[in-house]
């Protein structure tokens, strides 16, 4: 990751250096050096925008955004012409006025673009809801979007070769001509934006919100699944869609992020996405009796403020990680967990969640998970499903990807007779740590070299698989798995439902008794030390069916997931019904 960061910073420094050189050579009237600097700046800008968005982001954070860089380019043009041609009177005024007009048009065009975007369906979006015919106003053509805002002054790049021509010819006329063309081009874009704005007045976002409100008043949902996270975290809400559909009560899914709506799994439930906080809070929700929260997020407050609603944290998986007992859970009326393990976890944590507010409902998502033994006709399959690095720095018990992942994969790929490997990392793996991301990429390359499918969209066939997308889902992978290798995470808790053997990584090297005491989900697991020396033996034992942990898994299943004879879908429906009543 250090190499990547240096590369991004170096590219940014080179681009800024090109603009500085452009300003200096323009002020000194050095035409040849100006040409070199201009080529470096313009071509470098194109390369950054096209192939290195991280560099553009870094420059923006440093206060050297695209607008400032383009302004430096235009100033350098004026400096070069003044140094070489020395225009006076009207010629100087026109030299200054023409590029300035482009910037003025860009400011107003950017304002029009934001207004048009604000009234577009992106302000409030729906799925599985018929709002009737709504005039959202005309939308911007792609070419206008590409040239609006701080991108519009790009037309002033015409002034660069014109300034060189003016310096060589000793007349300001080439710059005047290029400036007129630039202003004309900017005016066309600005006029298009103004015309679309005029056409769309009286339609759009406010009208659409009113239609959403009318639908809420008519449908009168009793239950809301509320998710305020970004698109990359949508798996946390996706896992609750099918169970809540089965509850069979009027339900609405509230989202607060456009990307989350785009990534939301297929569902029959009506979905309303309203990103602006003020707009969401202004929606009337008087019929809603129960709000279910799969994740803790700052914008949960916009729903938590609703009176008359029972607010329930359902989470996105029971695990022994600290995130499962976040003190933020105190804000909810109730916290729903799978089994006694979840209740005891909150009691041990002492975070202020009262035992009377903890409700055991089982794990409704596991209803379709196969619990029978694997098929003898299928190659023995090992699923490596590590968790991500988490928010706590240097916590060895979050992910094994960095410290053990490559050894785990290498050991599994070297086993003979061959086992089939499915590698499904957590969706957020590598999102916080470049070192973890690099380790993940090395694991993928290793599986590719072994003939695996590294962009798998299904699990058919005997080849190794890397599954990083939403499909196949984790539970689909479970149904193909004879042995799981994972970390301390909810993956382990859910897999216990299958009653098949599993391995938990112990990268920190804790003594076995201490590890099992600290992480109760590992009580029926084979533990794997950082050197992975036991892995081949574990595979051999479980492959042969001589599995001494069978009884421990049976006991652990009740502790983690509740009574074996209880239907968690029925429990979910009962508890939702209780709160609705």
6 — pLDDT class (breaks 50, 70, 90): very low
Whether 180 shows a pLDDT value over 90: the answer reads: yes
Q: What is the rounded average pLDDT of the residues 174-199?
A: 88
- Closest to 340 (Cα-Cα) out of 555, 512, 505: 555
What burial letters (b/e) apply to 40-79, b meaning 16+ CB within 10 Å? bbbebbeebeeebebbbebbeeeebebbebbbbbbbbbbb
pLDDT at 205: 53
Whether 117 shows a pLDDT value over 80: the answer reads: no
566 — pLDDT class (breaks 50, 70, 90): confident
- Closest to 52 (Cα-Cα) out of 22, 7, 2: 7
Q: What is the rounded average pLDDT of the residues 479-500?
A: 94
Whether 142 shows a pLDDT value over 70: the answer reads: no
pLDDT at 511: 94
Whether 201 shows a pLDDT value over 70: the answer reads: no
Question: Which residue pairs, CB below 8 angstroms and at least 24 apart, start in 187-191?
Answer: 187/105, 189/105, 189/109, 189/144, 189/147, 189/148, 189/152, 190/105, 190/106, 190/108, 190/109, 190/112, 190/152
- Closest to 427 (Cα-Cα) out of 437, 413, 439: 437
Q: What is the rounded average pLDDT of the residues 469-489?
A: 92
Max Cα–Cα distance, the chain, nearest Å:
96
Whether 91 shows a pLDDT value over 60: the answer reads: yes
* DSSP β-bridge partners for residue 126: 272
Whether 394 shows a pLDDT value over 70: the answer reads: no
Whether 2 shows a pLDDT value over 60: the answer reads: no
Give the number of other CB atoms < 10 A from CB of residue 103: 17
Cα–Cα distance between 530 and 544 in angstroms, integer?
A: 25
Whether 373 shows a pLDDT value over 80: the answer reads: no
pTM greater than 0.85 (yes/no):
no
Whether 553 shows a pLDDT value over 90: the answer reads: yes
H/E/C letters for each residue in 116-137?
HHHHCHHHCEEECCCCCCCCCC
E strand intervals along 244-370: 251-255, 271-273, 290-293, 310-313, 334-337, 358-360
Instruction: Express each pLDDT in 283-324 by its tens digit.
Output: 999 999 999 999 999 999 999 999 999 999 999 988 887 778
Domains and CATH numbers, the chain: 1-84 (no CATH), 90-204 (no CATH), 220-362 (3.40.50.2000), 370-561 (3.40.50.2000)
Is residue 440 a contact partner of residue 405, using CB atoms and an 8 Å limit? Answer: yes
pLDDT at 478: 94
- Closest to 457 (Cα-Cα) out of 449, 442, 467, 448: 467
Between 2-28 and 434-449, two packed helices, what is the crossing angle to 10 degrees? 120
Whether 472 shows a pLDDT value over 70: the answer reads: yes
Structure tokens at 435: 């070192």
- CA torsion sign for 562, 564, 565, 569 is positive
457 — pLDDT class (breaks 50, 70, 90): confident
Between 5 and 545, whose confidence is greater? 545
Between 209 and 227, whose confidence is greater? 227
Instruction: Express each pLDDT in 328-349 by its tens digit.
Output: 999 999 999 999 999 999 999 9
Is residue 463 a contact partner of residue 452, using CB atoms and an 8 Å limit? Answer: yes
């Amino acid at each position: 990751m250090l190499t990547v960061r240096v590369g991004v910073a170096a590219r940014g420094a080179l681009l800024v250096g090109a603009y500085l050189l452009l300003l200096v050579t323009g002020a000194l009237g050095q035409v040849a050096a100006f040409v070199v600097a201009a080529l470096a700046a313009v071509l470098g800008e194109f390369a950054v925008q096209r192939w290195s968005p991280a560099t553009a982001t870094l420059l923006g954070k440093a206060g050297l955004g695209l607008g400032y860089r383009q302004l430096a380019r235009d100033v350098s043009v004026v400096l070069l012409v003044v140094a070489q041609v020395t225009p006076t009177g009207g010629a100087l005024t026109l030299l200054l006025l023409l590029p300035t007009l482009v910037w003025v048009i860009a400011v107003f065009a950017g304002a029009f673009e934001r207004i048009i975007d604000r009234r577009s369906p992106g302000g409030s979006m729906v799925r599985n809801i018929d709002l009737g015919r709504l005039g959202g106003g005309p939308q911007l053509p792609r070419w206008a979007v590409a040239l609006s805002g701080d991108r519009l002054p790009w037309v002033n790049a015409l002034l660069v070769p014109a300034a060189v021509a003016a310096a060589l010819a000793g007349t300001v006329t080439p710059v005047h001509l290029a400036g007129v063309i630039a202003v004309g081009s900017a005016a066309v874009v600005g006029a298009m934006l103004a015309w679309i704005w005029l056409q769309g007045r009286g339609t759009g976002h406010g009208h659409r919100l009113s239609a959403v409100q009318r639908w809420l008043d008519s449908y009168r949902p009793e239950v809301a699944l509320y998710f305020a996270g970004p698109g990359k975290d949508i798996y946390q809400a996706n896992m609750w869609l099918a169970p809540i559909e089965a509850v069979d009560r009027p339900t609405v899914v509230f989202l607060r992020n456009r990307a989350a709506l785009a990534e939301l799994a297929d569902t029959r439930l009506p979905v309303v996405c309203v990103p602006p906080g003020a707009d969401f809070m202004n929606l009337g929700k008087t019929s809603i009796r129960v709000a279910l929260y799969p994740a803790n997020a700052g914008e949960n407050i916009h729903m938590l403020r609703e009176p008359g609603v029972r607010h329930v944290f359902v989470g996105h998986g029971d695990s022994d990680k600290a995130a499962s007992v976040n003190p933020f859970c105190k804000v909810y009326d109730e916290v729903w967990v799978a089994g006694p393990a979840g209740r005891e976890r909150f009691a041990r944590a002492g975070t202020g969640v009262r035992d009377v507010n903890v409700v055991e409902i089982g794990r409704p998502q596991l209803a379709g998970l196969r619990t029978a033994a694997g098929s003898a006709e299928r190659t023995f399959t090992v699923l490596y499903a590590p968790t991500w690095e988490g928010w706590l720095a240097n916590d060895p018990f979050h992910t094994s990807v960095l410290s053990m992942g490559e050894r785990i994969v290498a050991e599994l790929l070297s086993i003979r007779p061959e086992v089939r490997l499915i590698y499904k990392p957590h969706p957020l793996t590598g999102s916080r740590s470049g070192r973890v991301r690099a380790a993940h990429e090395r694991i993928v390359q290793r599986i590719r070299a072994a003939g695996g499918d590294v962009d798998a969209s299904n699990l058919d066939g005997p080849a190794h698989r890397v599954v990083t997308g939403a499909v196949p889902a984790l539970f689909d992978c479970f149904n193909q798995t004879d042995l799981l290798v994972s970390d301390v995470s909810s993956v382990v808790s859910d897999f216990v439902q299958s009653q098949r053997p599993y391995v938990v990584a112990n990268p920190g090297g804790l003594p076995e008794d201490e590890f099992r005491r600290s992480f109760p989900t590992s009580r029926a697991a084979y533990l794997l030390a950082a050197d992975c020396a036991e892995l081949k033996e574990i595979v051999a034992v479980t492959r042969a069916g001589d599995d001494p942990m069978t009884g421990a898994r049976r006991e652990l299943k009740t502790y983690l997931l509740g009574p074996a004879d209880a239907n968690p879908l029925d429990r979910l429906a009962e508890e939702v019904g209780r709160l609705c009543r």
